[in-house]
Amino acid sequence: MDNILITGITGQDGLFLTSKILNEEKNSRIFGLSRNTDTDIFYKRLNQIYKGSLENLTILNINLEVYEDVFKLISNINPTAIFNLTGPSSVYDSLKDSNKSKNSIINIFENLTSALLKKNNLCNFFQASSSEMFENISNDSIDENTNMIPNSPYALGKLINHKKVIKYSKDYDWNIVSGIMFNHESEFRDKSYLTQKIINAAYDISLNKAAELKIGSLEYTRDWSFAGDIVNAMFTLLKNDAKGPYVIGSGVKHSIKDMVEIVFNEFDITLDDNLMVDSSLLRNSDPVVRVSNPKKIYKNYGWKYDMQFYDLLIRCVDHKKKFT
């Protein structure tokens, strides 16, 4: 039986990955790590997308920044695959926390890979990387060869790990992947992210609990995908013993205005009376356009996104209406 380790299992990616493995890998055991000792929300959300047995799922609470604890974990479960999805996820928070986020991102990856190397366990390894690593110029065709110049401590931490992935894949012929993920969303996305901010504001406006949505720009253009599709890409890469960097995104661009119009329409409200654009909310270094070119993963493994942008937003809106 395979032992699959998922760090950051309680996040949206961890939820969809857990559901996928439990559905498709009946002979695999999942060991999930979470910084949160209260897993009730995780199990409630998992129950919304997976209805089967949970006997092969174990949630553990371990400090991945303590090497001794990580080494003990690796020794005990002897993983056959690792999806490292944990660590700070907010670019904005990393700009204010004096390198705490950057150091955490680096230390967790270093502890996991060092423990594996010491145990001579070169199991398939997926490292969650970010499109934030790329230089801040507008680009609607970003691939693995696009120049990388991080503009935040978060992005710098991700880039340092990204470079180590490439080095380890060559030095040890290790099936270790840097999955460079672009924006991906779901009904389980944290409320601090743009998609949920727009949906929550529209919901409140429709109930006269808020006067307007305040947003930095309507013109910024991004590559938004469904988290479940991105998870399918992660799984495909490890299942096929991939190594090195892979850009993961839809390759399709939409503006923030596109998103607001779809969401507002679902709540029967208009932009004219319920929207304020305030450019002071923007980061000065943000590019206006950032879109992926996932040609490599499609060419090598045939993966491409499935859920359309409109359907993704409707899914998230419907969830808001049903569970609020």
pLDDT of res. 188? 97
Tokens linked to 8: 């950051």
Helix (H) or strand (E) holding 50: none
Mean pLDDT of 21-46: 94
- CA dihedral of residues 23, 224, 296, 132 (deg, nearest 10): -110
Give the torsion sign (CA, 202, 203, 208, 211): negative
Mean pLDDT of 244-268: 98
- Percent of the chain clearing pLDDT 70 (strictly above): 96
- Note the pTM of the prediction, 2 decimals: 0.96
pLDDT tens per residue across span 105-127: 999 999 999 999 999 999 999 99
- Give the span between the Cα atoms of 116 and 99, in whole angstroms: 26
Mean pLDDT of 56-71: 97
pLDDT of res. 44? 97
pLDDT of res. 285? 78
pLDDT of res. 286? 87
pLDDT of res. 137? 86
Q: Is the distance from CB of 224 to CB of 262 less than 8 angstroms?
A: no
User: Domains in the chain, ordered, with CATH?
Assistant: 2-185+226-251+290-306 (3.40.50.720), 194-221+254-289+315-323 (3.90.25.10)
Mean pLDDT of 45-70: 97
Helix (H) or strand (E) holding 33: strand 28-33
pLDDT of res. 311? 98
> Does 245 score more than 90 pLDDT?
yes
Mean pLDDT of 165-178: 98
pLDDT of res. 36? 80
Helix (H) or strand (E) holding 140: strand 139-142
Distance between alpha carbon 93 and the CA centroid of its chain, in Å? 16
pLDDT tens per residue across span 267-318: 999 999 999 999 999 987 789 999 999 999 999 999 999 999 999 999 999 9
What residues does 254 pair with on adjacent strands?
A: 222
Q: Among all chains, which residue has been given the structure tokens 């290790």?
A: 174
pLDDT tens per residue across span 77-109: 999 999 999 976 666 565 666 688 999 999 999
Average pLDDT, the chain: 95
pLDDT of res. 97? 63
pLDDT tens per residue across span 6-20: 999 999 999 999 999
Q: Label residue 37 by pLDDT band (50, 70, 90).
A: confident
Mean pLDDT of 122-151: 95
